[in-house]
Each structure stands twice: as structure tokens, then as C-alpha cells.
Chains A and B, each alone.
Chain A
Amino acid sequence: MKKVKYRHSTSRLLLLSVAFFISFSVLGIAQDEASQDAAAGSQEQTEESSEDSSAMSDLGDPANGKSLFNSLCAACHKPYSAGIGPALHGVTEKRDMDWLYRWIKNSQELIASGDDEAVAVYEEYNKTAMPAFPQLSDADIDDILAYVEQPKPEPKVAQTGGGSTGGESSGGGVSVNVILGILLFVLVMLLAVLFLVNKTLRNFAQASGVVVTEKPKGKPIWKSFVENQFLVLVSAVFGLLVVGWFAYGFFMQIGVDQGYQPIQPIHYSHRIHAGDNQIDCKYCHSSARTSKHSGIPSLNVCMNCHVTISEVSPETATEEYSKEFYDGEIAKLYDAVGWDPAEQDYTGEQKPVKWVRIHNLPDFAYFNHSQHVTVGGIQCQKCHGPIEEMEVVYQDAPLTMGWCINCHRETNVRMEGNEYYEKIHEELSKKYGVEELTVAQMGGLECAKCHY
């Protein structure tokens, strides 16, 4: 068989890789520019739309209307889509203004008076009565209507490239690669140059008859190292210590999932709920008060609010996650709970959500939330970290036994006003001569308090 020789295989490989890096970096730079353009474009667009909407209103003051709408109407109505009540945009065209005043101030009265339109609306919405708002003046109603009659703002286009994929392919990563690529290229070139220079110099030397004297080789360094037994001993000890240190570090982190941040089936943002909207943790995690589990809220708890909140406000969106992305996540909730937002009704088709558990204690460790939350009055953040700032929840604490024990050593038990503690507090404070007792002094370090 004939062998084909690839004579210049190494140089070809080098060339190829250089070409690859160059093309990659150019592509990255191009993408960067494109996304910048898009962002700039959308910014312009929003500015435009807000301008012309303010010019549109002739009914009243939309700004005042917005605040009134949000405080009084938003629980059931949305301007552009149906909630519990109908979408209000365009209502002034459909209905007479007087009728609207009467309806809003007291719809039941209007229905009782036998107004055909009113009865028809009442029937259409399954006889769900709209509360009366006698406190609203006609001017207020005008303001509200002015607000709802604003044209629908155009959705912001392509703030992030692919929407839901988030910021994985952001420019930063590419540029680092480019710099590294260039550096590598330069280094390779340098090597090549050095090699060539060396070769040329030798050629010159040979041509001019200069004999390059080889330096007599001394004892190689490893040999002298081996002969120095003291050095060998010291470095062996040092080496063992280093290995031991790293081995210990490695073994101690096994099973410790600090920083564990799995991707959840629904992108639920604690930042929005607990941070921006200041919802109490225990509103959703209600069983933390009474049970050992904090409990992942069932979807019907979500629907307490999300039956009316089907989309986020534009301000909620961040650079990383767009409004569409969040709205899509709410749609996932609707899908799971079986809520048809168009019909405003439950379909009965439920798909339980398979959340990924973040905080996992081993089975042999017993932890009770209610003990810490209700009895101890400990803030959730003490163990779970700045949960109200987390867009995606991660495990903040190491959840190791040492971490638990430390806290039990340092934390004083909240005893005031709890009759259970009265007797034991009196006795123990006398015994230890302190007024405040730590968990450890209460016996909180005993093994079987947590292991049984």
C-alpha cells in the first residue's frame, strides 16, 4: 500500500486554527454591533410611542386616571385584555358616556332599573357583580377612561436576541474568546519567528565557519535535587501537606451544594415577588408556620393573584429578562393549573409542576421550619440568603452540620411572652447565671434533637 505523506501537516493545522479564530472573532464583533443597533432602535420606538399617546387624550388626565385605575379597577380589569371583567380599551366607543357614569358609580342599580345593555353585560359575565364606586366623580371617571383609551403601546421588539434563552450569548463571552485567540496567535507567531531566527543564525554561522561551542553539560538539576536528601524530605513533607489540604477540601465539599442553582420548569422570580412587590414569604410558604416543611406553594395559591395578573408591567422587565419572557412564564403557570385566560375559566386539565428541590437535607437530619420561623422568629433570609434579590434561587448556606451548630451556639432563644419557656428559663438562667439563653444551653446541641 502506498502511504501518503502529509509533509506540512503541522503548519497546515496551525494555519487552519488561525483562520478559525479570526473568523470567529469577526463574527462575534458583528453580532455585538447588531444587538447594539437593535437596542438603540427599540429605545427610540418607545420614546415615540409615549409621545403620541400623550397627545391623544381628550377625555381627561390619563396620569390621574392611571393611578385611579390601578387602585380601584386593576383587580378585575385590564385596559387591553379581558380579566374578570372585560377589556376596557374602546369602551367609550361602545357605550354612551352617561351610561358609563351610571354603571361605574353603581352597576347594580342600573341592572335593577332594567337597562337592557346593563343586564346583557351582567349576564355575559356570569352575573359577577361589579362593586359600586360612588366616590368617583364624573371627572375621575373621565380620567380613568382617558387612561384606558390610550392606544396600546407597541411591544418592545427584540430587546434580547432570542427572548427566553436569556443572556447566555452576550457579547462579553465572545470578546474574551477573541482576546485569547489573538494572544494565542501572537504567541504562535513569536515561536515561529524565534525558530526561524535561530535557524537563520545557525545557517549564517555554518556559512561563515564559526563553530558554535556546545556548553559542557553539568549535572542535571534533578540529579542534584535527588542527592540533597534534606531537600527531598522537606519537599516530600510539603507535598504531602499540600495533597492532604486539597484532599480534605475536596472531601469536605462532597454533598455540600452551596450555590446550587438549578433551572426550574417555571422561571419564578423571587426578586419580583418578595423583592419588588414585598409579598411576605409566608403568604406562599404558609406551612413554614406550622409544619416541618416550608412547603412549595400549590398552584392555587399562585392563582390567588395571577387570576388577574396575566402579564407583568413593562417596568418589571430587566435587561436579562424581557416582559415577553415573564409573560410566557405566567402562561406556563396557566397551562399547569389549567386556566384558560381567554375564557377566564379553569379547564380542569392540570399538570403538576415538577420543581427542582434546591435545599436538600439528608434523610437522617430532622429540620422543622415552624420551630425556627414561628417559635424562634428567625427571618427566612438568615438561612436562605437574600432571597428577595434572587432572580433564580440558589442555595445560600452550606447546610452543613457545623453551620447549624454554630448558629445554635450563638443564637439566643426567643422566650419572651412564651409561657412554655417560663419555668425552664427561670431555672436555666439561674444555673448559667445569664439572662439570655442560647439554643445550645437549652440542649440544642444534643444529637437526637435533629437525628432520629
Chain B
Amino acid sequence: MSSNKKYWKSVEELNENSSVVETLQQKEFAEEIPVNEFLGDKESLESSKTSRRDFLKYVGFSTAAASLAACEGPVIKSIPYVVQPERIVPGVANYYASTIADGFDFASVLVKTREGRPIKVENNDLSKSKGGVNSRVHASVLSMYDANRVKRPMIEGRNVSWEEFDREVGSALGNVSGDIVLLTQTFASPSTTKLIKEFSEKYPNVRHVVYDTVSENDALNAFQAKFGKRALPNYDFSKAETIVSVGADFLGDWQGGGYDAGYAKGRVPENGKMSRHIQFESNMSLTGANADKRFPVTPSQQKAVLAALYGYVAGGSSTSDLPAKIDDAVVKAARQLRKAGSGAVVVSGIPDANAQALVLAINEALGSGVMDANNPRMIRQGNAEEVMQAVEDMKSGAVGAVLMAGVNPAYSLPNANEFTEALSNVDVSLAFSMKPDETAELCKFVAATPHYLESWGDIQYTASDFALMQPTIRPLFDTRQFQDCLLKWTDNDKSYHEYIKETWSGSIPSWNTALHDGVFKATSPVEIEASEASGSVNVATAASELARPSENNGMELTLYTKPSMGDGQQANNPWLQEMPDPLTRASWDNYLTISKADAESMGLENENVSNGGLNGSYANITLDGVVVENVPVLIQPGQAKGTVGLALGYGKKSGVQEEMQVGVNAYPLYKNLNAVQSVTIEKAPGVHEFACVQLHNTLMGRGDIIKETTLEVFNTKDVKEWNSVPQVSLDHVEKPVTSPEVDMWDGFDRSIGHHFNLSIDLNACTGCGACVIACHAENNVPVVGKSEVRRSRDMHWLRIDRYYSSEDSFIDDLDKKENISGLGSSLSEFGELEEPADNPQVVFQPVMCQHCNHAPCETVCPVAATSHGRQGQNQMIYNRCVGTRYCANNCPYKVRRFNWFNYAENEEFDYHMNNDLGRMVINPDVTVRSRGVMEKCSMCIQKTQKTILDAKRDGRVIEDGEFQTACSAACDKGAMTFGDINNEGAVIRDKKEDDRMYHLLEYVGTKPNVMYQTKIRNTTEA
């Protein structure tokens, strides 16, 4: 029986005429449910004719269609050549020697092409002495496949044909009144020099102004004054015994770069000897990080240091006004320099002609055999005064036409606004440009130029070293190189290729050999303009000039270039953006580096937040009324107090994809193209989110990660003292961890067949990062973008860990850790060890999969997706992986990377793998991984397998040195040695037997196939 009870919902129901009650009887809720708001626009919903039935119909049909479509496999088309070029065999790579010469990087390279498209840039071994194949050069191949390139010539933003372009430019140049200014990069090309001369003959009012974006003006001026040639001295650091650098980042891009290979040779102890390197600098640079002894000094002090050094070396003065500690260092450095004799060298990066003149004088006084002024470098030619004069002339209207090639002054000039205004005064503005950059946007004429991998060229590195550039692919777009345009406009029917050949005919024995090798020695067939050497540089005045304390108010800013970004030409290259800076380990950014003391006094902060990201304050930088706003601040251990540093090359907007418009443009602070400026810093509101891949900065005395000792100990003490094998206890007896009885695994016989090992010499590694990019290119490592890197989801298979010491040296760290006793002491002192020192020692350690013979990852994989090969490689099988990530959890080295997303063909990751052009760079021999699988270093198994197959096909034994990984091949410093440990007489066997050899975290007992060579520092004072 049903109940007759009435349930009251509310008191309202007593009121008979309540509208609320009535509404509630009809509807559950008194208020309208915002369905339409939720679903979208009400109007469009109502006007829509799609009923629920229709909707279900569509769902049904589309599901059916999808499942039907899935039943049939895709039809894959295969389109062969109609006429196959003789040299191309599909599936086999061809190599061509070429040269990059973009005005900033000059290097001989070997270009690997597959089916006619370049996919990788490698070292050209024939030109090893020149080095310079840095991370930017390795990444340059991707810059060719840049979707943002200028694809055809344009006049006032209108696409035109080259014929029309030639016609228009011809008539414009013919009617020009005033000078024609040719503002170009340093070409260092004899043929181009000749060609520009011919161009000047046709148009007599041509003025050629060479503009180096990052200037070496003062060094060039000093050299020119002394030797009469606009060039730079060449250095061979492999011969050096004592190197004193005052503010010169010579392992970076100082004076054209490329000195690191020679330097590294002298750093590996041989017969108990290695070079000693003393560095005085303000920013913590790559060079300072590698130094045996580093002194943080301000730029103004650097001048005094150099003056004092001159005084001590040349025997002039015996005192200086420097602080006692630094003065002492200078005295010791001078003593050591004198002792080293011809093995001594002083270099300086102080942007001051006096300082540079002094360097030349010191090296001469020392009788340095390291510096070579007879075969000087020609790869920097820029003249800052002429550039500034040209801008002045443009403003005054004296210039009728500006032709710019390889430069982007509207972005990179400190007075870019002034330049922009001045350009509007010029009738004819023409930019030869690869990208629609700031300058190209302003110009009336834009001549689309090809990438260096699509161009011809000849390059003069030094007075007698030359190189050739050859195209490795047909131009992707309707482009024509600068030189070909000049030839056209001087009514020359030849192509630039023929023109170069003609230039060199008679000067070299064989064009084909030169082209094949890419490098050759010769004397230039084109006269280099020489000015009268004044010779009468008064060194003493220069020294006293330098020693004079300069007016100094505010902070001293030193502008520098990062190994990844350089002058910013390749800002649209995602590989370079994602490459972490070797020192700060931050990617996708530039930032103001500041010392901890200064940061504290200004209230600038860095903190790690809960998601693992690094946050930093913002600061505004002011220089003579120019304000660069919202520069993120990063506290840099080792930064000299009273100084700050900021990298050039960032903050580019035009022609750069939105994701890569990162950082701030520092060029407005590059006043008079001088890298040192006195600025004021003030804190700005807001918090910047960095994408920093290393949060733990110190080694905390963990000597099992990086072993380091001094040359003295290395030479005199037993190996057990400085590189002992960890001991474990077995039945209360200490046993070395390498002995078989303490091993919980049954080892396999690994003496048959190949067994690959990789040795990394921490002494030779400068931390430059060329291997990181080479690995990226070889193994199709995806780019994940800034926010993912911040979440520690970077995909680099090879990372270069950087550690700071917490005490003055790592050895002190170790001592401090060893002496911790008791709870109180451990609480406080471990905390202290987390903080890097004000002037820490720095060490770099490349870490990739260690390919453990007893790999912890292999035993935990539930699907056996990672297993061990007989050749020593820990194999990762993507198609078997289900993504449990147990392996990454169990890896003590943290080298496994998980694909959180599909990084290829995904709009969310709009980098090169998301467009047809960018995908051309993908290595066809390596799988592109998809979402949900683990990946890691494979020890370039595709390369070792290829080497084996080549030998099998030829029926021959494999020689030592044939086996290479991408990283070992990219390292021109010789820090990475790869080889077959079962091959008698292989270098890698010696490396394994070397006293310096140790394995990373050896006590874990993983028996890695990657080994490290103990870092030795030369602390011997003379």
C-alpha cells in the first residue's frame, strides 16, 4: 500500500501561489541549466539542422567508414628515378667535402648525403688542424631545411622572377646618385674579393664595408698596425706549455674559434707533461671552466692584469696596482710563461687596441712558438669604424644604394634604430638574404640566397690555407648566391663555379683533388690589400694606458656568444635552441649572468620550484639611455663581482618561428661593437621560467662520479691513491668490485667477435657540445620545446653534465666530505656542499647510456624490450617497448628518455619533424620513435653495423679507427675514443688499460662499456 504521507520540499509549498513551487514541479532545477553555454553558441545550436538522430547517424557512419578503411593496408608508391645519376645508389650515403663560411663560423666539413639530400655534417679529417666544427656547424644542415627561408627574389614584397629582378636592380644601380655601399660579412674568399673589385670597376662609386656581427675590430687593428695586414694571428695551442688568457674565450668563438682541438691535444698528460692554463676573466666561460687556475677579475682589472703581465714578462715594471691576490697570480703566471719559453702564449679578448697590441708584444717578447703571425687568420675582416661611418653617411644622404650580404644590421647593430632610419634615406636598398629577417623586411629588393650547402665558394682561412665550398644539393628554392648576382650585374656570363675555377687555374695542381679534399695549401691568386705597417706602436704607452684605472660606475657587462647560438644567425634552428648551454645548462634562453654576491645585494633571485623548474628574477639593463628590459637573471658561480654577462644572438623576431623567438636581444648594448660596457642594473618585476636541465650543480664530493687529481699526484703517486677500484665486503674481506666472486651475475664470454667500448677523456673534453648536436642529427632525436625541457623531458641521448666545486677545488670537496662526522656536522656541511663556490672549479662529463654488461635496466623490463648484444651494446627495441618505464627507474645513470608524446608530425611540437622540409634531415637508417616508448643511446649501432657490413662485403678485416659513433666522430678534440676491445692493437684497448681509466659509479657493479679517463689538473706552480 502506498503511503499517503506528503513530503514537503520546502516551506514555499505552503504558499499556494508560489511560482517557485510550480517551476519546481516542472523542472528539477529552478534555474536554467547552462547547457547552451556549455555546448557553445545558443543561436548556432538552434539554427543547426543536425538533430540527435543525425548526429548518431554520422557517428555510426564514420565509425563504420573508419573500420572499413582500416581493413585495407595503405598502398605505398615507389617512384624511381627516370634517369638515375651515376653516383647515387638509393640507400648508400655519399660524402662531399665542403666548407661553411657564414661570416661567423668557418670550418671544413664533410657532408653526408642520402639520395641526394644532405642529412649530416661531419668533420673533414683532412683539415683537422683547423678544427672549428662546433655544434653550430653540425646543426647547420637543419638550417637549410628551414621553412622560413626566403624562397624567391622579391621587390617591395612582391615575388618576381630573377630576370625582372636583374632588370630592376640594373636600372636602379645605373641611376644611383651617391655612393654604393656594399655592406657584407667577412667572406675571406679570394674569388669574391676579385669579383667585388670588378664590380667596383663597373660602378666606380662602390664602397665595400665589411661588417662582422661579433667584432674582432681591435685585434684586427692591432695586428694591422704591427704587420700591415688586416688579419689575426694564428695560434697552435697543441704546442703550448703555458697558456695565459686574459678575458679570451679561446675555446669558444674568440677570434673565429676553432682553437679547442689543438688545445685539447696539449691537455692530455703524456710522459707526465701537459699544458698549464691560467685564465683571468669576468664571465664564467667555457675556457675558464677548463682552466687549471681561474681568476675572476672585472674587465677593467683585466686591462691592468695584462699591463702588469707585460711589465713582468718584458722586465719593465715589478709592481702593479692590482689587489695582492691577483698581483700574486700575475707574478706567478709571468714566471711560468718565462719558464715555458717558446711554449708560452698569452691571449686576450679585451676589446681594446692597446690590449691587443700588448698581447702581440708579449708573445713576441716571450718568443712564443704558439702564435704564428706569418700565416695569419683571414676569417675576420670587419671594420667597426667603417660600419659606423657608413651608417652616418646613409643618414646624411651621401649614400645612394646599400647592398647587404650575409649581414642583418637592422637586428645586430647596436644603433639598429638609427640604421633603420638611415636606410629610408637611401634610394636603393638591397638585401641578399636567406631569411626574411629584420633587414630584408626593410629593403626594397630582397635577393634570395642559397644556404652554403647549395653554394659554391672558396675560402681563405689563413695566408696559405684554403678551402672550397661545393653544393651538395640543388637549390631547394629559387635562389641565387651573392656572387652569381654580382657576376650577372657586371655582365659576366660565367657562373660563380666557373669563376672560381678560373681564379684558381694555375695556382693549384688539380682542381678535382682540391674539390675532393675540400682543403688545400696554396698562395692566394688574388692580391690581399696590405697597408703600411706603422711598426711604431708604442707598447710602453699602450701598457701605461691600460694600467690606468678607468672611470667605473655601475656594473661591467661583458657580452659573449654562446656555443649553441653564436651570433644568432641560426636562431631558427631548434636543435641549437634546445642544446643546453655548457655552463648554465639552460636551453631556449639567454640571461644575465651575475655573481651571487651582487644578486643578493640587488635582491635578484634564482629558485627551484616544485615541478623541478628553475625560476629567476628579471632585471632591466640600462646603457646610456638604452634600456633592455626584462632580462632574466641567472646566478653564475665564478662570475666576477661587479660584472655581469649577457649572450648575443637571441631575441630575434623576424623570420623566426614563434616558438624560437626566445631570449632578449643584447645587440643594443653592443655600443661601438665593443663587448665590454658599463651598465646599470635594476630589478624588474616578474619571474622568469628557465628551461634548465641540471638542477644539482655540485659534485658533493662524490668522487665516484668524477675522479680528479693533480698532475703532481698523477706523476708521483701510485694509481691506487688517486684512482682506486671501489672495494666491497665479501665474508668480511674487502674485495675490489671488479672481481668475479663478488658479482651476483654470471658473466658471459665477451672475448669473441666485436666488443665495443667508448672512452671519454675528461681532460680533452672541453664541454663544447658538438657531440650533442651530432647525436641529435644522427639518431633523429626529437626536439621537445621549452616547456617540456623545463619538465625534465628533454630527449638528448647524450648530455654533458657540468659540476661546480663547492670548495675551491673538487679535491677540497672530497676532503670536506670525508671529514664529516656526527649528525650536526653532516647536516650543516652537506648543506654547504650543495652551494657552489664563488670561484668554483668546473668539470664537464658527457654521459650517455653506459651500455652496462650487467645492466640493471635489462632485468626489470617485463617485455624484454631491452636486451644485451654480444657486441656489448645495450639494445633498446622500440617496437617491443610498452612504456612501463621500469628501466628508466632502475638506471643508475639516468640516461633513458621516454617519449611522452609523438614528436614527429605533431602540431603541438611544431619543429622540424612537423614539416616536410624539416623532415628531409631525418636519418633514414634510424627509426623515428613514436609515443609511449623508451629510447636511449644505441652506441650508434647503425654505424657499427654498417662498418661491419662494408668489411664483410669487401671480405677484409676491420682496421682500428673504422668503428665510430656519431659523438666520437664529431669530437675533434679526441676526447671520445670508440673501438673494438677485442681487436688487438686498438687504441681503445690502451685506453682501457690506462691508469686514468675508471667507470662511472663503479661500485654499483654494472660493468659499463663506457669508460672515463680521470681528469688531471696541472696545478704545478713554477
Do A370 and B73 have beta carbons less than 8 Å apart? no
Complex Cα spacing A417 to B953, Å: 11
Do B949 and A368 have beta carbons less than 8 Å apart? yes
Complex Cα spacing A360 to B955, Å: 30
Chain A residue, CB-CB nearest to B77: A354
Do B79 and A448 have beta carbons less than 8 Å apart? no
Do B752 and A297 have beta carbons less than 8 Å apart? no
Do A287 and B945 have beta carbons less than 8 Å apart? no
Among A295, A301, A357, A452, the residue within 8 A (CB) of B941 is A452
Given contacts A291-B91, A452-B926, contact A296 B80 (CB under 8 A): yes
Do B75 and A447 have beta carbons less than 8 Å apart? no
A261 to chain B, nearest CB (A): 12
CB neighbors of A among B63-93 (8 A)? 73, 75-84, 89-92
**A 370-390 to B, binary, CB cutoff 8 A, 1 in contact else 0:** 110011000000000000000
Chain A residue, CB-CB nearest to B954: A420
CB neighbors of A among B937-954 (8 A)? 938, 941-942, 945, 948-949, 951-954
Complex Cα spacing A173 to B327, Å: 104
Chain B residues lying within 8 Å of A451, measured Cβ to Cβ, are 875, 877-880, 927
Say whether A13 faces chain B, with CB atoms less than 8 Å apart.
no
Do B926 and A370 have beta carbons less than 8 Å apart? no
Among A300, A424, A428, the residue within 8 A (CB) of B82 is A300
A23 to chain B, nearest CB (A): 34
Say whether A293 faces chain B, with CB atoms less than 8 Å apart.
yes
Say whether B876 faces chain A, with CB atoms less than 8 Å apart.
yes
**Size category of the binding interface on chain A:** 35 or more
Main secondary structure of the interface of A (DSSP, over half): loop
Chain B residue, CB-CB nearest to A286: B89
Do B84 and A301 have beta carbons less than 8 Å apart? yes
B819 to chain A, nearest CB (A): 47
Do B90 and A293 have beta carbons less than 8 Å apart? yes
Do A448 and B869 have beta carbons less than 8 Å apart? yes
Among B73, B871, B942, the residue within 8 A (CB) of A452 is B942
Among A291, A351, A420, A449, the residue within 8 A (CB) of B952 is A420
Among A354, A424, A447, the residue within 8 A (CB) of B79 is A354
**B 759-791 to A, binary, CB cutoff 8 A, 1 in contact else 0:** 000000000000000000000000000000000
Do B84 and A298 have beta carbons less than 8 Å apart? yes
**B 859-901 to A, binary, CB cutoff 8 A, 1 in contact else 0:** 0000000010111010111111000000000000000000000
Do A357 and B867 have beta carbons less than 8 Å apart? no
Say whether B957 faces chain A, with CB atoms less than 8 Å apart.
yes
Chain B residue, CB-CB nearest to A292: B91
Say whether B717 faces chain A, with CB atoms less than 8 Å apart.
no
Chain B residues lying within 8 Å of A293, measured Cβ to Cβ, are 90-91
Complex Cα spacing A375 to B867, Å: 26
CB neighbors of A among B955-987 (8 A)? 955-958
Count of A-B contacts judged by CB separation below 8 Å = 150
Chain B residues lying within 8 Å of A357, measured Cβ to Cβ, are 76-78
Do A353 and B79 have beta carbons less than 8 Å apart? yes
CB neighbors of B among A405-452 (8 A)? 417-424, 427-428, 431, 442-443, 446-449, 451-452
Chain A residues lying within 8 Å of B877, measured Cβ to Cβ, are 447-448, 451
Among B92, B867, B927, the residue within 8 A (CB) of A290 is B92
Say whether B22 faces chain A, with CB atoms less than 8 Å apart.
no
Among B75, B89, B880, B949, the residue within 8 A (CB) of A295 is B89
Say whether A225 faces chain B, with CB atoms less than 8 Å apart.
no
Q: Which of B867, B880, B953 is packed against the most chain A CB atoms within 10 Å?
A: B953
Do B78 and A355 have beta carbons less than 8 Å apart? yes
Complex Cα spacing A352 to B77, Å: 11
Say whether B753 faces chain A, with CB atoms less than 8 Å apart.
yes
CB neighbors of A among B81-134 (8 A)? 81-84, 89-92
Do A363 and B927 have beta carbons less than 8 Å apart? yes
B497 to chain A, nearest CB (A): 24
Chain B residues lying within 8 Å of A287, measured Cβ to Cβ, are 89-92
Complex Cα spacing A428 to B880, Å: 29
Chain B residues lying within 8 Å of A354, measured Cβ to Cβ, are 77-79
Chain B residues lying within 8 Å of A360, measured Cβ to Cβ, are 73, 76
Given contacts A298-B84, A301-B84, A431-B752, contact A352 B953 (CB under 8 A): no
Q: Interface residues, chain B, CB within 8 Å of chain A?
A: 73, 75-84, 89-92, 749, 751-753, 867, 869-871, 873, 875-880, 925-928, 938, 941-942, 945, 948-949, 951-958
Q: Closest 4 interchain pairs by CB?
A: A448-B875, A291-B91, A298-B84, A298-B81
**Given A290-B92, A355-B80: 13 more A-B contacts, CB < 8 Å:** A293-B91, A296-B78, A296-B80, A300-B81, A338-B82, A355-B79, A356-B76, A368-B949, A375-B952, A419-B957, A446-B867, A447-B877, A448-B938
Q: Interface residues, chain A, CB within 8 Å of chain B?
A: 255, 257, 260, 262, 287, 290-293, 295-301, 336-338, 350-357, 360, 362-366, 368, 370-371, 374-375, 417-424, 427-428, 431, 442-443, 446-449, 451-452
30 A-B pairs (CB sep. < 8 Å): A255-B73, A287-B90, A287-B91, A287-B92, A290-B953, A291-B92, A292-B925, A300-B82, A336-B82, A352-B82, A353-B80, A355-B80, A356-B76, A363-B928, A368-B949, A370-B949, A370-B953, A371-B949, A375-B953, A417-B955, A431-B749, A443-B871, A446-B869, A446-B870, A447-B875, A448-B873, A448-B877, A448-B938, A451-B877, A452-B945
